[in-house]
Structure 1
Amino acid sequence: MLTLGVICALLASAFALDTDLPAPTVKRCTGTISSLADVAAAQVCTTIIINSFTVPGGQIFTINAATGATITMAGDVTFGFAEWAGPLMLVSGQNVTFNGNGHTLFGQGDLYWMRDGLGGNGGVTKPAPFIRVNNAGSFSNVRILNAPERSVAVKGSPVTISGIMIDNSLGDLPNSRSNGLPAGHNTDGFGISNANNVIIQNSSVHNQDDCLAVNGGTNITFQNNVCVGGHGISIGSIASNVVNNVHITENTVMSNTNGLRIKTDATATASTVSNIVYTNNKLSGITEFGVLIDQSYPDTLGLCFFFILFPVPCVQPSWLIGTPGTGVVINGVTFSGTNTISVTSVAKRVSVNCGSTSSCVGTWNFAALTVTGGAAGTIRDAPVTGGLF
């Protein structure tokens, strides 16, 4: 006869999938987390409630949920200050539903920024990312306030992320150590690395870096989101990964330096970016590039920010233009529906810098793209057709 312990062990073995941590034994119970000391007992339950509490600085709030678990926030969680690498929070599990119920995760990024004014560009060590979403299932209805550096790293496959408010607006303000510049930097909203079948929707990001950065993965949809104050929606930078079938749909981007970007490393090898589709997006107040596709990263195609103090369109002298590589093949970039972008007077409307006609291939149909304002950019070695820019 099998004992209860043996049965539980067999269940755990059957449900364990490819997550960072082995799946715990499944119990039909309700576990309540009011401190890190409660996590071990609570995470084996199929229902997990998170109450208000403070995570001590330098410690990670890790929930390795049982398969099929439901995690619900019943209060706000604050993460104490400490100079360390992070991340601050990790959620793992298979078929896990996480519902924040509109509660807030307080990162206290301002406590880090006030010490050096450098954000993620140096100074004191800042924990990043704020939260790593490794669970397959869903993650929704959470406010993330003042992430010290990068906000949400996505690894779960498949996962639907919705109703997330990332608010790093305080990082827009200068402080006594930031020399008059914004105190927050590298505060990316959503970062996707080697995750498949990801949907991010109905969310908002106010930050000082990419709203979305896709560095690897397939079947990724970013739809009905609002991006304010950052560096735009980005594919890349790509160094050695594969990105395939990305749909950027019905998003609003306001007051960002860049609008829509694909950036690949000049030294990248054996990588591909394919089937990138932009549909019904609306962008305004873009200050550098409305659309930028560049294979010379990190040496960008014309450093417009050198010229934003002057009321004239940025210029791109040849000595400032990065030398593009050919190690990433970009195959297929399409604009569908109606995509409108307005850029400021100092910005370039559309710029493309391909390494060769063999590294930018396939159909590049820009017919559903209209960009106004600023000045025309330069298109090099790309099969672009259509569009008003």
Structure 2
Amino acid sequence: MFSVKLVTLIAAALAAASAFPTNETLDVGASCTITSFGQVSSVLSSCTNIVISGLSVPAGKTLELTLKSGSTVTFQGKTVFGVAHWGGPLIQISGSKITVKGASGHVLDGQGAQYWDGKGDLGATKPKFLRIKATGGSVLSGLHILNCPRQCVSLNRCDHVTLDGFNIDVSAGDKNKLGHNTDGFDISSSHDVVISNSVVKNQDDCVAVNKAHYVTLSKLQCSGGHGLSLSVGMSKTSKEDNTVSDVHFSDCTVSNSDNGIHIKTHSDGGPGVINNVSYENIKLSGIANYGVNIEQDYEKGKPTGIPKANIPITGLSITGVSGSMTGKNSKAVFILCADGGCRNWSWDVKISGAHEGNNCTKQPSNVEC
């Protein structure tokens, strides 16, 4: 299922991570420790082993970490971001062969409760939290992200990057259903990415893949949101911008969420393709709407009921998917394909407890529904 290229990437990343210091005594001089926002520029220009300790970031400002090749950044204590209604991101990290990690007890606090209005992107302007633009075998590990105002971690133009051991906690947004559009991981314009051993508690997609190649996602624990998702086809001009290929989810759990697996293509976008995507050993529990939901009918962000084959879904493998539903209108499986839009699938889905029967249209003939 996994390419030699991906296996090599994972092995290299884990070997590199094992070489990082694991103790909390950091051999970094005071001149390479950032404790006030005004120090950021000078420290980044002169240091490659950097500590960010107890930092307050002013409202409306990005903590811009453009790192020298091979740099290491360690977050200590509480990094808190002032409140302002703007687009963000609150942090942007970029560089080649970089290491970014969190010391024991650290937290990156976006103060989401100061923004949430129950309307998400349609309400007051809220900043995205963390944008990553990293390459060259970079490893980001052990980050604790708390209360994102909106989308939490965006990977954009990443190349050979590993994220491991993230804890994304936006569960406070469940109160009065105020948190919306708090995606855990969004992946676009990236390739050779590994995300593993991470926890996401939020109110939107645990993972949303928009445009990517050679991505491995494993041992994720997702709760409260919309599940493990692909959302493909929003560009109206470029087939390349509407392509997801060689993306593999494995050994993940999705609990107390609206959906387990959600694949949607945008019928108002340009041509594209979803090819060689797999979901393997995915455990579901407490799913309210759909266990597996695959639709080729999204326009302007909403399903229309009229599917189009502008973005065919081929080589899809959904195997070893099991679990239970709870919602009063729940369906274990909902598939809406266009003529010729869905081909060459593998299928092994066993989901119980749905209150309504499955509903499938023009799925491949071997897909039981």
- Give the structure-1-normalised TM-score: 0.80
**Within 5 Å, which residues of 2 pair with 1:347-362?**
347-357=330-340, 359-361=341-343
Q: Look up the match of 1:22.
A: none
- CA shift for structure 1 position 157: 1.2
> Is the strand fraction higher in 1 or 2?
2
Question: Structure 1 residue aligned with 2:75, among 65, 69, 73?
Answer: 73
Tell me the residue number matched to 2:305.
322
- Alignment of 1:228 onto 2:226: no
Give the match for residue 138 of structure 1.
139
C-alpha deviation, 1:341, in angstroms: 2.7
Identify the range of structure 1 (215-224 vs 67-76) with the bigger mean alpha-carbon deviation.
Answer: 67-76
Note the C-alpha offset of 1:364.
Answer: 0.8
Q: CA deviation at 1:183?
A: 0.5
* 2:54 alignment counterpart: 52
Q: Is the 8 A contact 1:364 1:384 kept in 2?
A: no
Report percent identity of matched pairs.
37
The structure that has the greater radius of gyration is 1
Tell me which of 327, 332, 339 is aligned to 2:315: 332
Q: Which residue of 2 aligns with 1:109?
A: 112
| 1:7-156 correspondence runs (5 A) | 31-44=32-45, 45-102=47-104, 103-113=106-116, 117-128=117-128, 130-136=129-135, 137-155=138-156, 156=158
On the 8 A contact 2:232/2:243 being kept in 1, the answer is no
Three-state SS of the structure 1 residue aligned to 2:42 is helix
Structure 2: which amino acid aligns with 1:377? N
Partner SS for 1:148 = coil
Structure 2, unmatched stretches of 5+, are 1-27, 236-241
Spell out the pairing of 1:302-321 with structure 2 (5 A cutoff).
Answer: none
Alignment of 1:193-342 (within 5 A): 193-240=188-235, 241-298=242-299, 322-336=305-319, 338-342=320-324
Counterparts of 2:204 and 2:189 in 1: how far apart (Å)? Answer: 20
Query: Match for residue 365 of structure 1?
Result: 346
Q: What residue is the counterpart of 1:8 in the other structure?
A: none
Contact 1:294 / 1:300 at 8 angstroms: preserved in 2?
no
Aligned-partner residue type, residue 197 of structure 1: D
Distance 1:248 1:238 in 2: 20
Q: Which stretch of the first structure deviates more once superposed, 369-378 or 147-156? A: 369-378
Instruction: State the AA in 1 paired with 2:134.
Output: N
Please give the alpha-carbon distance, in whole angstroms, between the structure 2 residues aligned to 1:141 and 1:68: 18
CA RMSD of superposed structures (Å)? 1.8
Change (3 A) 1:119 1:77: farther
- Check whether the contact 1:165–1:203 (CA below 8 A) recurs between aligned residues: yes
- Output the TM-score relative to the length of structure 2: 0.85
Q: CA separation in 2, counterparts of 1:356 and 1:33?
A: 57
Displaced runs of 4 or more, over 4 A: 298-301
Structure 2 CA distance for aligned equivalents of residues 211 and 278 of structure 1: 14
Q: Which has the larger displacement, 41-50 or 195-204?
A: 41-50
Amino acid at match of 1:248: F
Asked whether 1:377 is paired with 2:332, we answer: no
Which blocks of at least 5 consecutive residues in structure 1 are unaligned? 1-27, 175-181, 302-320
Q: How far apart, in 2, do the equivalents of 1:59 and 1:94 lie?
A: 23
Displacement, 1:237?
A: 4.0
Structure 1 residue 35, shift from structure 2 partner: 1.9
Structure 1 CA distance, aligned partners of 2:42 and 2:262?
A: 45
Report the alpha carbon displacement of residue 370 of structure 1 after superposing the two structures with TM: 1.0
Aligned amino acid, residue 36 of structure 1: F
CA contact (8 A) 1:365 1:384 kept: no
Contact (CA 8 Å) 2:78, 2:107: kept in 1 or not? yes
User: Relative to 1, partners in 2 of residues 1:119 and 1:78: Cα closer, same or farther, differing over 3 Å?
Assistant: farther
